[in-house]
Amino acid sequence: MARIIVVTSGKGGVGKTTTSAAIAMGLAKKGHKTAVIDFDVGLRNLDLIMGCERRVVYDLVNVINGEATLNQALIRDKRCNQLYILPASQTRDKDALTIEGVGKVLEELAKDFKYVVCDSPAGIEKGATLAMYFADDAFVVTNPEVSSVRDSDRMLGILASKSKRAENNEEPIKEYLLLTRYSPDRVKLGEMLSVEDVQEILSLHLLGVIPESKSVLNASNSGIPVILDEKSDAGQAYDDVVARYLGEDRPHRFIDEEKKGLFGKLFRSK
Amino acid sequence: MSTEPQHTPYQKPALEFKSTTYSVPVLIPYTHDLTVIEHQLQQKINQAPEFFRNSPILIDLQELNKQSTSLNVAECIGLLRKLALLPIGIRGGLNDQNEAALALDIPKISAQQNISHQETAQKLEKITPEPESEPETPEQPITRLVTQPVRSGQRVYAHGDLIVLAQVSAGAEIMAEGNIHVYGILRGRALAGIQGNTEARIFCSDLQAELISIAGNYKISEDLDESVRNKPVQIYLNDLALIIQDL
């Protein structure tokens, strides 16, 4: 049976799709057969970030409506043969998704895959609630600012009460905090909430901190999941996140300011 | 009253008597005209059929007998049973009324610890619009325990006291008819004594609430004194004024 992971946040623009692409690639690179599904019907993005937008034939809604089989719709990643992408439909809206349809697709994927990553749309409406309904684990993506933290808190409430696990009184969804677009310099200046602030408000297990980085935008623009950019800080941070999720014990990085070199120190000490 | 059967090979008592108190709907007829009663009762039942189906009911004749009109008890019990109500007692009846009831296995219940009629009537009115409440469960206040964080957008309601062992996030709302205890940080809204109990109190280990209220008297975050913020406090009502006191 596959483990179903939902990447969610409530608020938009915090890095859900970037995170979905990165961790799906990370899991696949470790040899686990992984599928990543775009639930943002009508505002399809994941295929761009994954760099497979020119290979989309069928999508999630086609599969739900029985117009295509799952195998026809799944796109195999060219860089990693353990990774498959199920894109969203751009010409439909979220009403095309049904709980039965999504359940059937996930059930079929679960037979064959080790991990299924669900990239949730923003908001708390149908697309988002369906993306998390069947989840086993939830990655709650949060930016270090108050409105994102409040929306994540709201999402955690929905995860705890409106999922399949909650409705069947099963073990609740495992929730992990992923703090993205983190900038230690700005935290020091008091312009951003610190890791401790966010954890105090959400009281949630911290899976990783992804630093604000130019490499993320570059990676998105070129359709390469940022985790493949091994030299970049964000890529390394996502690599840590995947390793920690799989049970490895790695210390948190990118939380403190970068150490200045000797020259930096000399020039700074005025 | 409840009995507890025990099947053991030892010489243990086979039963035990205990006493219990619970609320039952009380029917207070104001007329001896059974057709009028049936008509109006049917209307009430139609509002909440699930609540009334097989509900135990007590017949109170004190009010009616003051008017020196006499109700045919046997016919009244027959009527109630026809409407799927289960009369379990009669009070305030005259001797012949009590006997007529007893003949139908309905016991006489002493009318001494009566609450005033008005209150009883109000009580019945109050229960009626809530068809979801189970008639079988005794309506004693039940303490509700919450061990998980109450997240933004979530609402928790307790018919009795409410105890929250985790934090209450900003944007969350906790309500109780009795007291509220929060052993994490209270950042959301807390409303105690929500049905008007002015004796209810709020206790919390760290007050950062958006709003606190007891029996409808409330204070918003902006009105909270800095001296009580981020501190363990209790909140109670004194002459309709909210008092916030260090613990």
DSSP readout, B103-164? HTT--B---TTPPPHHHHHHHHHHHTT-TTS-SSS------EEE-S-B-TT-EEEESS-EEE
More confidently predicted of B87 and A138: A138
pLDDT digits (tens, 9 = 90+) for B201-246: 999 999 999 999 999 999 999 999 999 999 999 999 999 899 999 9
Average per-residue pLDDT for chain A: 93
Kindly state whether residue A267 falls inside one of the protein's structural domains.
no
Residue B76: burial class (beta carbons within 10 Å; 0-12, 13-18, 19+):
buried
Name the least confident of A66-80, A101-115, A193-207, B27-41.
B27-41
Query: Is B22 in contact with B142 (CB distance < 8 Å)?
Result: no
CA angle centred on B159, ends B170 and B206, rounded to 5°: 35
| B84: pLDDT strictly greater than 70 | yes
B contacts of A158 (beta carbons < 8 Å) = 153
What's the pLDDT band for B96 if we cut at 50, 70, 90?
A: confident
**B120 pLDDT more than 70:** no
**Percent helix, strand and coil across chain A, each to the nearest 5:** 45, 15, 40
A197 lies in a domain?
A: yes
Q: Are strands B241-246 and B233-238 parallel, antiparallel or unpaired?
A: antiparallel
Q: Find which of A11, A124, A129, A153 to mutate to test the B interface (most B CBs within 10 Å of its CB).
A: A153
With an 8 Å Cβ cutoff, are B167 and A203 in contact? yes
Average pLDDT, chain B: 82
Does the residue A121 lie in any domain?
yes
Report d(CA B193, CA B199) in Å as an integer.
Answer: 7
Complete edge-to-edge strand list for the sheet that includes strand A174-182: A75-76, A83-86, A34-38, A115-119, A3-8, A137-142, A174-182, A205-211
- The confidence score (pLDDT) of residue B114 equals 44
Distance separating alpha carbons of residues A223 and A213, to the nearest angstrom = 16
CA A125 to chain B, closest CA, distance in angstroms equals: 14
Strand order in the sheet with B144-146: B144-146, B162-164, B180-186, B202-207, B233-238, B241-246
Read off the CATH number of the domain in which A222 is found. Answer: 3.40.50.300
Q: For residue B124, is pLDDT > 50?
A: no
* Backbone phi, psi, residue A190, to 5°: 80, 15
Mutation pick from B150, B152, B156, B210 vs chain A, by most beta carbons of A within 10 Å, is B152
Q: Tell me, what's the pLDDT at B3?
A: 46
Local confidence band at B2 (pLDDT 50, 70, 90 cut-offs): very low
Over the stretch A189-219, which tens digit does the pLDDT of each residue have?
999 999 999 999 999 999 999 999 999 999 9
The secondary structure of B56-76, three-state, reads: EEEEECHHHHHCCCCCCHHHH
H or E element: which one contains B192? strand B189-192
Answer yes or no: is A76 within a domain.
yes
Q: Is residue B134 part of a domain?
A: no
Q: How many domains does chain A have?
A: 1
The residue of chain B with its CA nearest to that of A157 is B151
What is the domain range of residue B150?
144-246
Buried b (16+ CB within 10 A) or exposed e, A104-114: ebbeebbeebb
If you search the block for the tokens 């109190």, which residue do you land on?
B201
B123 vs B48, higher pLDDT: B48
pLDDT at A265 over 80: no
B111 and B33 in a single domain? The answer is: yes
Residue B127 within a domain:
no
Contact, B55 vs B25, CB < 8 A? yes
A vs B: CB pairs below 8 A = 35
| Nearest-angstrom CA–CA distance, B167 and A254 | 28
Q: Residue A97: is its pLDDT beyond 70?
A: yes
> For the segment B11-63, what is each residue's pLDDT rounded down to a tens digit?
667 887 777 777 778 888 888 888 888 888 888 888 777 778 888 888 888 87
pLDDT at B4 over 90: no
Decide if B215 contacts B196 (C-beta within 8 A): yes
User: Which pLDDT band holds residue A259 (cuts at 50, 70, 90)?
Assistant: low
- Work out how many domains chain B is built from and give that number: 2
Q: Is residue B15 part of a domain?
A: no
The reported pLDDT for the residue numbered B121 is 45
Evaluate whether residue B129 is within a structural domain: no
Query: Where among B115, B134, B163 does a domain terminate?
Result: B115
The answer to whether residue A97 sits within a structural domain is yes
Question: Reduced to 3 states, what is the DSSP secondary structure of residue A190?
Answer: coil
Q: Region A119-144: what's the mean pLDDT?
A: 96
B104 and B185 in a single domain? The answer is no
Closest-CA distance of chain B to residue A135, Å: 19
pLDDT in tens, B131-147: 444 444 455 668 999 99
Asked if B105 and B34 sit in the same domain, the reply is yes
Phi first, then psi, for residue B241 (nearest 5°) are -110, 135
Provide the ipTM: 0.79
Tell me the two tokens of residue A90: 């751009």
* pLDDT for position B127: 41
Query: Residue A82 and residue A101: Cα distance in Å, rounded?
Result: 25
Query: How close is the nearest chain B Cα to the Cα of A203, in Å?
Result: 8
Residue A250 forms part of a structural domain: no
| Percent above pLDDT 70 for chain A | 95
State yes or no: pLDDT of B107 exceeds 90: no
Section A81-105 average pLDDT: 94
Share of chain B above pLDDT 70, in %: 81
Contacts of A77 (CB under 8 A, 6+ apart): A25, A28, A50, A52, A83, A84, A85
Amino acid letter, B209: A
Q: Is the dihedral of CA A25, A27, A29, A35 positive or negative?
A: negative
In angstroms, rounded to a whole number, what is the distance separating the alpha carbons of residues A188 and A195? 11
User: With contacts defined as CB-CB under 8 Å, which chain B residues touch A153?
Assistant: 151-153, 169-171
> pLDDT band at residue A115, thresholds of 50, 70 and 90?
very high
Q: Domain span at residue A33?
A: 1-244
Identify the pLDDT of residue A263. 58
Mean pLDDT of A149-154: 96
Residue A268: inside a domain, yes or no? no
Question: Which residues of A lie inside 8 Å of B (Cβ-Cβ)?
Answer: 150-151, 153-154, 156-158, 160-161, 201, 203
Give me the pLDDT at residue A270, please.
Answer: 40
**What confidence tier does A260 reach under pLDDT thresholds 50, 70, 90?**
low
Helix (H, G, I), strand (E, B) or coil at A175: strand
Compute the half-sphere exposure of residue A148: CA atoms within 13 Å on the CB side of its CA: 24
Residue A184 lies in a domain: yes
pTM of the entire predicted model: 0.68
The answer to whether B69 and B61 are in contact (CB under 8 A) is no
Q: Which helix (H) or strand (E) holds A115?
A: strand A115-119
Who has greater pLDDT, B126 or A261? Answer: A261
CATH number of the CATH domain containing B192: 2.160.20.70
Do the domain assignments include residue B175? yes
Residue B61 lies in a domain: yes
User: What is the nearest CA distance from B150 to chain A, expressed in angstroms?
Assistant: 7
